[in-house]
Structure 1
Amino acid sequence: MTAMATSRAEPDLSFLLDRTSHVLRTRMAAALAQIGLTARMHCVLVHALEEERTQIQLAEIGDMDKTTMVVTVDELEKAGLAERRPSSRDRRARIVAVTEKGAQIAQESQKIVDGVHREVLASLAGPDGEALLRGLKQLVQGELAAPVESARPARRARQ
């Protein structure tokens, strides 16, 4: 018995976004591994350099759960790239402070990340790269700005 397949009138946007996101993450992971970083470590270093931020704030920016954030900061501390310190604004809070070595690595990792992004966008013909970025920015600022609550939430992609 053969199952009847449904015909699609529209492209599978979910598949296209999931697939490109997954492959981009694998490229990024391979590129950052060359300097001993993960994408999460890069994210924490770059955002901790911008201003004084707590682990909780950095976890929100990087879309990490609390446990993942603790492990990531532990790895950064072990590598001598960051350390936990009391906040200058709130003595009860602790921030993630980037060391001098961490700042140098963050600068290098940002060049790597920018390079991977440039390579990917350059693979699109003509102005398609700029159009893709414009469209994605519109989606994340508009229709797809926030997740929708559901009785059966979508499973997040494994990192």
Structure 2
Amino acid sequence: MLVGMTAMAPARNQPDLSFLLDHTSHVLRTRMSAALAEIGLTARMHCVLVHALEEERTQIQLAEIGGMDKTTMVVTVDALEEAGLAERRPSAKDRRARIIAVTEEGARVAGQSRSIVDAVHREALAELPESEREVFLRVLNRLVGGPLATPAENPQPVRRARQRSK
């Protein structure tokens, strides 16, 4: 009689933290993407708008904040410019540098998108009782600020999951 693969799988001694974090992150990203799509934004566009509003930032700085490569950042800013939400301008601090300036319409849309993002987060956390919510967030912040703050150096970099385009 052949033994099935599951019977041969090694016993788990620890919860599968990778699966738990990856799955919840994926579901949260899909919900966020769907909610932002209702106002014509992607999560990347939202990220660029809100961070460009905070202070004068270059395209490179915004790409680092959003974890985007150069090509993705260019496409994102092109889409924001085409929609009239942002524009590339010379920096007031360094004329050689170009910043992403949010237009008046872009600031209005960023306010909307911030509300949408907050609502998606509220909805995700609403499943937890308030006392557990505070503990959950405190623990996640501790992990993000401590042992999971920096990716490990790896000769074969781990790729982030791609978002499917529609």
TM-score (norm 2): 0.93
1:15 partner SS: helix
2:88 to 84, 87, 99: 84
Asked if 1:16 corresponds to 2:20, the answer is yes
Asked if 1:51 corresponds to 2:68, the answer is no
> 1:151 Cα shift?
2.3
Amino acid at match of 2:40: G
CA distance in 2, matches of 1:58, 1:157: 20
CA distance in 1, matches of 2:147, 2:159: 20
CA RMSD of aligned residues (A): 0.9
Aligned to 1:142: 146
Aligned to 2:38: 34
Asked if 1:105 corresponds to 2:109, the answer is yes
Aligned to 1:73: 77
Amino acid at match of 1:69: M
> 1:97 Cα shift?
0.2
> 1:43 Cα shift?
0.3
Asked if 1:5 corresponds to 2:16, the answer is no
CA distance in 1, matches of 2:93, 2:160: 34
> 1:126 Cα shift?
3.7
| Percent of residue pairs bearing the same amino acid type | 72
Q: How does 1:92-131 map to 2 (within 5 A)?
A: 92-131=96-135
Amino acid at match of 2:86: A
> 1:56 Cα shift?
0.2
Amino acid at match of 2:162: R
Give the total of aligned pairs: 159
> 1:152 Cα shift?
2.6
